[in-house]
Amino acid sequence: MYYIGFDIGSSSVKAALIDSDNGKSIASINEPKDEMDIISVNSDWAEQNPSFWWENVCNASKRLLKENAVASELVLGIGISYQMHGLVLVDKDGELLRNSIIWCDSRAVEIGNKAFEKLGEEKCKDNLLNSPANFTASKLKWVRDNEPDVYKRVYKFMLPGDYIAYKFTNNINTTKSGLSEGILWDYKKQEPAKWLLEYYDIDSSLIPDIVETFSNQGELSTKGAEESGLKVGIPIFYRAGDQPNNALSLNVFNPGEVALTGGTSGVIYAVTDKLSGKEPVKYNNFAHVNYSEQKPVIGKLLCINGAGIQYRWLKNNLNLETSSYQTMNSLASKIPVGSDNLQLIPFGNGAERMFDNKTIGTQICNINLNKHTRSHICRAALEGIAFSFVYGMEILRKDGANIKVIRAGNDNLFRSEIFSNTVSTLIDQEIEIYNTTGAVGAARAAGWAKGTFEDIGGMITKNDKVMTYHPLQNKDDYQLAYQNWKKELNRILIDKK
């Protein structure tokens, strides 16, 4: 018997099949083979047609079963992970009214900023643990103000994962965690933030029914089964946004545990039981997958735009004989800690929220033309990106995040010993590396919700753990290098005021 997990991203849909006996991954695939299109009519807009998500979910499920010779009758349940914050609108017949306004669309920034100012910073911090910012509620307000003919036909709004669950089951519902990522959950009242919708002049009846993150959220309808190639009646047992789900995939559930992502952008996701939002402009607080009224577990999410994209830019522009990350890592390993006082500030991928949305740019500081080489630049880049993660974790610590355990996937920046050792040593915590994906995590979560898996954490550790980076004994050189980097960063931040 098996579980299937889907991870609905903005570039592709990933699907994974796992064994219900032991949670081991059997197979994973992506659809489509080329990336999905993002529609950008204006420079700061980003939309996708949710029908394409569903089409790729169906193609992926059919391929997964066919290529692994698995009958749909053997599938016990489904888990769904999805790109966060997107807005999907349907009419009373469940038909789409417009494209989804997805996570990287920034048209509603000023709407959210104005709400934060008018409603009051303290009320937003205390009740929402966030600023309304550019999230789902503010996107819906934009539709109300700019597309009144669309808005008046809206029956329900949904998040991307809610829409996929609806297509499977014909049930429209959402989760508390989902509402929190749209900045629509009041943590004090333990209910949807209807007062925010009232401020936006939005009817609260547009909020879908709420189901638990781990629960029977609906069973496959005849139409959903026919289109997906799965069996009528298969339950959906789990649904969560991609960052909380990534944390779940890495066995990050409890206060003190942190999930790191070192892709194009970096993500720090720290779990806490502190209902505090001191600096909601710098980071966000979301209800984690195991959030409940009795045990309000929160995920503090801080993004670093200038992470892996910085290292990729170097790879594409250093004119190396063999252009690969392995070559760059090898060059960097020849240089001592601190890169002989060469610092690289890696924030050239747009405004950074942890710097109050300042655009700093990438800057290379203190180049000595008689000493520094490409090898120094490679090391300085890895160190600079690592330092930005440490800086971000320091911000979260100031707001009560108690960092005890760090876990990350076995890909991208965490394949670099220099990067991983730098973070581990400066934070003074081990970093556990796991070989897993969001789709695999969603599939396992479905099994956990059904009760098949008693200990999802132990299963993840048994099946996926690759290695552990330990803090190095000689910290002095790392601490000096970090302090020098922060001096350059602070100088730049002062200039940007």
Q: What pTM does this model have? A: 0.94
Contact 301, 283 (CB under 8 A): yes
Q: What is the pLDDT of residues 115-154, one digit of tens each?
A: 999 999 999 999 999 999 999 999 999 999 999 999 999 9
Q: What residue type is 294 in one-letter code?
A: Q
Q: What is the pLDDT of residue 320?
A: 79
pLDDT at 425: 98
Distance of alpha carbon 231 from alpha carbon 211, whole angstroms = 22
Phi, psi angle pair for 37, to nearest 5°: -75, 145
Cβ atoms within 10 Å, residue 59: 17
Both tokens of 321, joined, read: 């004989």
| Three-class DSSP labels, the chain | CEEEEEEECCCCEEEEEEECCCCCEEEEEEECCCCCCCECCCCCCCEECHHHHHHHHHHHHHHHHHHCCCCHHHEEEEEEEECCCCEEEECCCCCECCCEECCCCCCCHHHHHHHHHHHCHHHHHHHHCCCCCCCHHHHHHHHHHHCHHHHCCCCEEECHHHHHHHHHHCCCEECHHHHHHCCCEECCCCEECHHHHHHCCCCHHHCCEECCCECCCCECCHHHHHHHCCCCCCEEEEEEEHHHHHHHHCCCCCCCEEEEEECCCEEEEEEECCCCCCCCCCCEEEECCCCCCCCCCEEEEEEECCCHHHHHHHHHHCCCCCCCHHHHHHHHCCCCCCHHHCEEEEECCCCEHHHCCECCEEEEECCCCCCCCHHHHHHHHHHHHHHHHHHHHHHHHHCCCCCCEEEEECCHHHHCHHHHHHHHHHHCCCEEEECCCHHHHHHHHHHHHHCCCCCHHHHHHHHHEEEEECCCCCCHHHHHHHHHHHHHHHHHHHHCC
Kindly tell me if the per-residue pLDDT of 397 is higher than 70.
yes
Query: Does residue 340 surpass a pLDDT of 80?
Result: yes
Distance CA 241, CA 269 (A): 13
Crossing angle of helices 308-317 and 374-398, rounded to 10°: 170
How confident is the prediction for the chain on average, in pLDDT? 95
* Domains contained in the chain, CATH given: 2-244 (3.30.420.40), 251-435+454-497 (3.30.420.40)
Residue 82 has pLDDT above 80, yes or no: yes
The neighbour count for residue 365, using CB atoms within 10 Å, is: 18
Confidence of residue 453 (pLDDT cuts 50, 70, 90): low
Q: How far is CA 52 from the centre of its chain?
A: 21
Q: Are 5 and 32 in contact (CB under 8 A)?
A: no
Express as a percent the part of the chain with pLDDT over 90.
88
Bond prior to 192 in cis (omega within 30° of 0): no
As a whole number of angstroms, the distance between CA 392 and CA 423 comes to: 11
Picking from 177, 252, 172, the residue whose alpha carbon sits closest to that of residue 213 is: 177
User: Could you identify the residue written with the tokens 């880049």?
Assistant: 381
Q: What pLDDT shows up at residue 454?
A: 72
What residue type is 123 in one-letter code? K
For the stretch 377-393, pLDDT in tens is 999 999 999 999 999 99
- Greatest mean pLDDT among 343-357, 378-392, 483-497: 378-392
What are the φ/ψ torsions at residue 406 (nearest 5 degrees)? -120, 130
User: 191 forms bridges with which residues in the sheet?
Assistant: 186
Q: pLDDT value at position 459?
A: 85
Query: What is the number of alpha carbons within 13 Å of residue 365 lying toward its C-beta?
Result: 20
Q: Is the pLDDT of residue 189 over 90?
A: yes
Predicted pLDDT at 412: 87
> At residue 332, does pLDDT exceed 80?
yes
Q: For residue 495, what pLDDT band results from cuts at 50, 70 and 90?
A: confident
* Percent of the chain topping pLDDT 70: 100
- Measured between alpha carbons, how far is 358 from 346 in angstroms, rounded to an integer? 13
Dig out the tokens for 358 from the structure: 């300042």
306 token code pair: 């200038």
**CB-based burial label for 460 (10 Å; 0-12, 13-18, 19+):** buried
* Cα–Cα nearest to 13, from 121, 139, 163: 163
Query: What is the tens place of the pLDDT at every residue in 245-291?
Result: 999 999 999 999 999 999 889 999 999 998 887 888 899 999 999 99
More confident residue, 322 or 330: 330
Cβ atoms of residues 403 and 393 within 8 Å: yes
**pLDDT of 330 over the 70 cut:** yes
Give the pLDDT mean for 171-184.
Answer: 98
Residue 236's DSSP bridge partners are: 78
The sheet that has 431-434: what strands, in order across it? Answer: 284-287, 298-304, 266-272, 257-262, 405-409, 431-434, 465-469
Structure confidence by residue, pLDDT tens digits, 212-228: 999 999 999 999 999 99
Would you say 289 and 177 are in contact if contact means Cβ atoms under 8 Å apart? yes
Question: Which residues have C-beta within 8 Å of that of residue 1, sequence separation ≥ 6?
Answer: 19, 20, 21, 74, 75, 76
Give the pLDDT band of residue 33 (cuts 50, 70, 90): confident
Contact 339, 353 (CB under 8 A): no
d(CA 307, CA 295): 33
Residues forming beta bridges with residue 29, ordered by sequence position: 15
Cα–Cα dist 139/158, whole Å: 12
* Structure confidence at residue 358 (pLDDT): 87
- pLDDT of the residue at 203: 97
